[in-house]
Structure 1
Amino acid sequence: MENVTVQLPHKKAEGYVIPLGPANLVAIITDIGLVGCGAFDVAALDSFSYPAAKVRPAVGPSIVNTSDILTGIVKEANRGAMGRGIKNGMTGKEALELL
């Protein structure tokens, strides 16, 4: 597992990359919520009142690392994330800045 600190404009977040055979499970977590790859069930996280969004890669076939989360495009956000202003089509970095 890889853990990196991600500097956002107003705070730091923690990024995680967990290798799962041919794919990686990737997320960046703030003190409020997370933005992750397509493997995350953001609707399930909503049942815990945890704001979450998942992104699709801006380039390439899949999310591989935390940089891909930052440049990725939000494809789904749960109610908690939408309540903080996260919308489909924004970048992962823009979404994280709202968390």
Structure 2
Amino acid sequence: MDSIPLTIGGKKAEGFVIPLGPANLVFVKTEKGLVGCGAVDVQALETFGYPAAKVRPASGPSIRTVDDILAGTIAAANGPARALGIAEGMSGREALKRL
């Protein structure tokens, strides 16, 4: 597992890349919530009131890196994330700025 410290919109965040054989589990978390790859179950996290969104890749078949999260497009956001202004179609970087 790789942990990557980030600063997004003046706030600290941490990116994670967990190799799972042919795919990676990739997400970036902030103090308020997270943005992750398609494997992240945003609806399950909603049951805990945790803001979460998942991205689709801007190019290529899958999300493989933290940079892919930042460049990707929000495909789904749960209720707590939407309440913070995160919407489908925005970039992963823009969504993380709201978290």
* TM-score in same-fold range (> 0.5): yes
* Alignment match, 1:72: 72
Deviations 1:46-91 (A, max 9, x none): 0000000000000100000000000000000000000000000000
* Alignment match, 2:28: 28
Unaligned runs of 5+ in 1: none
TM-score scaled by length of structure 1: 0.99
Aligned positions of 1:1-99 closer than 5 A: 1-99=1-99
Count of residue pairs the alignment pairs up:
99
SS at match of 2:24: strand
Taking only the aligned residue pairs, the percentage that are identical comes to 59
TM-score scaled by length of structure 2: 0.99
RMSD: 0.4
C-alpha separation in 2, matches of 1:5 and 1:90: 22
Which range moves more in the overlay, 17-26 or 5-14? 5-14
Structure 1 stretches of 4+ with a deviation exceeding 3 A read none
| Letter in structure 2 aligned against 1:37 | C
| Letter in structure 2 aligned against 1:84 | L
